[in-house]
Amino acid sequence: MTHAQLEVLLQRLTDLLAEALRAEPLDLRVGHKVADELVAAHIVSAEALGRTVEVIQLRLVRDLDLVADDIEDRMARLLGAVATGYARALRDRTLDEQESIRRAAMTARAEAEQALRASEARFRHQATHDPLTDLPNRTLFAERLAAAVDASAGSGRRVGLCFLDLDRFKRVNDSFGHQIGDRALVAAARRLRRAVEPHLVARLGGDAFVVLVERSTGTGDVVAVAEAALAALSEPVVVDGHDVTVTASVGIVERRVAGTSPDDLMRAAGSTLHWAKSAGGAGWALYDAERDGREQARQELCAAIPAGLERGEFFLDYQPLTSLHDGSLLGVEALVRWRHPRLGVLRPDKFIGLAEETGLIVPLGGWVLAEACREAVGWTSTSGEPPYVSVNLAVRQVRRPGLVQEVRALLRRTGLPPNRLQLEITESTMMTTSEEPVRALRALADLGIRIAIDDFGTGYSNLAYLRDLPVTELKVAGEFVRGLRTPEARADERILASLVSLAHALDLTVTAEGVETGGQAERLRAIGCDAGQGWHFGRPASPDHILARIR
């Protein structure tokens, strides 16, 4: 309180004491009241009571000019009441403060415990649920799936999964922005949850969801869930006035719980989802154990390619490219083989496609090119020019920066003359808007390297485009040659004759692939084809066999 307020209080208490001293009988409760008010006003320092007694004893009687026989006795009794009341008030105040502190501590502890429980609960809306869609997340789904498998392991029950992924959802984000994309995702999640109830639907991340059918009675149950999910997503979602259309692909797995595991189920569902997407999306695919086994074997084979290169498991055979005019050996095509430690010798059709899909064709193709140049440089002929070696280049190799420098360095390192190297490319390799592949081929041709178009006739067959390429040879696909086995096959013969005529008009030589009989060779010679390749002229053979033939 202010000084003025303090004076008012003390004046009032003084008046109370003065009245008590004059009053009959003496009311000691006034002393208690004065003491209570002093303590209530926080006048509780060590000097407060002593100063109060001093003022009352020395000043009050004199100022009031009180004269009575018992005034000293009355004063002593009143001061005792003040002192007693002061001590009691201080005690009660201390006890009240202690109780208040205790209650405050209890309240704070209770509030802290409640906040901790709330925080733990929030940590659990964060650890087990997706913050965007509020669906169960991968963690909770994994727990539920594991519990379903464990609980039903010996009961003969079945379980099903629908692994769902929105098709091309990135386009939604790219077209409308991530904010609208997120809202569309939330709307899709809400529809999914309603459509598949009471089954658990979880968001695994991105635009991927999964539905757990815990007690399936067969494939039909899970297919019905998948179709309900697809139907729920078929209508456009309206977000901020935008019609956002999404479709989905679903991979379905349904099987007995016995003998399976959560990881097996999820892996199988993921593979099946990939099949559904490969089929164009907006539909479902059902798990096929045989197909899955084949694909797993392919993936294992693909994963073994780098180690196979390091261990020297790959080797080259060579197939002759023979002149149809005089039967001389013009060149040989390098064909890669894989001496697999478990599967035996594998032909290119078993692993080249895998290597191209995964990008491993770049190191594998680089090894083939280097090995072919290294072996060919040692081929010498007692008469005439030694044969050139022809090597296939994959699309990734041709479009890869640094191809020209790589080939130039390889020729320099091995000492193979550029005119004894032929690089085979497919028509589709050149069908690109980029100028880099064409520029690279021109630079290779300027070095003196031969450029051939392989399997001509099976792709675009754009002769007008071919006119502008630095190509020296066309290799006609074996599909056309196969028809020359019978005399009646005039259509294939006319097609081949036209191709040969057009190629010669462009100053290109023509090699026919897949020549298996003398009759085919004769008819090709008659229409002016320059060279042939096939079993009739020789099967793929080792470098030693080729060297023996050259000599």
Tokens of 56: 């009352």
Q: Rounded mean pLDDT of 80-103? A: 87
Compute the distance between CA of residue 475 and CA of residue 455 in angstroms, rounded to an integer.
6
Percentage of the chain with pLDDT > 90? Answer: 53
Question: Among 102-116, 216-230, 322-336, 394-408, which stretch is predicted with the lowest mean pLDDT?
Answer: 102-116
Backbone angles phi, psi at 327, to 5 degrees: 75, 10
For the segment 216-226, what is each residue's pLDDT rounded down to a tens digit? 999 999 999 99
Give the residue, 483 or 10, on which the prediction is more confident. Answer: 10
Residue 246: pLDDT over 60: yes
Tell me the pairing of strands 421-426 and 329-340: unpaired
pLDDT above 60 (res 295): yes
Q: How many helices (H) and strands (E) does the chain have?
A: 23, 16
Report whether pLDDT(20) > 90: no
When comparing pLDDT for 302 and 484, which is higher?
Answer: 302
Lowest mean pLDDT among 24-28, 329-333, 415-419, 431-435: 431-435
How many CB atoms neighbour CB 280 within 10 A? 10
**Mind spelling out the 3-state secondary structure of 201-214?**
EEEEECCEEEEEEE
- Between 31 and 475, residue with greater pLDDT: 475
What is the pLDDT confidence band of residue 411, given thresholds at 50, 70 and 90?
Answer: very high
| C-alpha to C-alpha distance for 388 and 381, rounded to whole angstroms | 12
Percent of the chain with pLDDT over 70: 93
pLDDT at 383: 67
Token pair belonging to 124? 């659990």
Range in 127-131, 246-250, 265-269, 401-405 with the lowest mean pLDDT: 127-131
Is residue 438 a contact partner of residue 412, using CB atoms and an 8 Å limit? no
- pLDDT band at residue 374 under the 50/70/90 scheme: very high
pLDDT in tens, 312-321: 999 999 999 9
In this structure, what are the phi and psi dihedrals at residue 234, rounded to the nearest 5 degrees? -75, -25
- pLDDT for 69: 63
Q: Which residue has the higher pLDDT, 362 or 46?
A: 362
Mean pLDDT of 523-547: 93
Residue 371 has pLDDT above 60, yes or no: yes
- Report helix angle 71-123 to 48-55, nearest 10: 160
Provide the pLDDT for residue 427.
78
Asked whether residue 461 carries a pLDDT value surpassing 60, the answer given is no
The CATH number of 320-335+365-550 is 3.20.20.450
pLDDT for res 139: 92
CATH code given to domain 138-287 = 3.30.70.270
* pLDDT at residue 96, as a whole number: 85
The CA-based angle 458-438-419, given to 5 degrees, is: 85
6 sits in the region (left: phi over 0; alpha: psi -120 to 50; else beta) called alpha
Position 427, amino acid: E
CB 317 within 8 A of CB 335: yes
Best CA proximity match to 253, nearest among 279, 204, 291, 296: 291
Q: How do residues 158-183 score in pLDDT, each as one tens digit?
A: 999 999 999 999 888 888 888 999 99
- In the numeric block, the tokens 């060779």 are attached to 521
Question: In angstroms, rounded to a whole number, what is the distance separating the alpha carbons of residues 57 and 78?
Answer: 10
Q: What is the signed CA dihedral for 49, 52, 57, 62, rounded to 10 degrees?
A: 180
Q: CA–CA distance from 116 to each of 108, 109, 247, 269 (Å)?
A: 12, 10, 43, 39
Mean pLDDT score of the chain, rounded to an integer? Answer: 88
Q: Is the pLDDT of residue 418 over 90?
A: yes
> Does 277 have pLDDT greater than 60?
yes
Categorize the per-residue pLDDT at 426 as very low, low, confident or very high, splitting at 50, 70 and 90: confident
Domain ranges of the chain: 3-101, 138-287, 320-335+365-550
Which token pair is 194?
């309603």
C-alpha 113/C-alpha 356 separation (Å) is 60
Q: How far is CA 405 from CA 389, 396, 439, 440, in A?
A: 19, 16, 13, 10
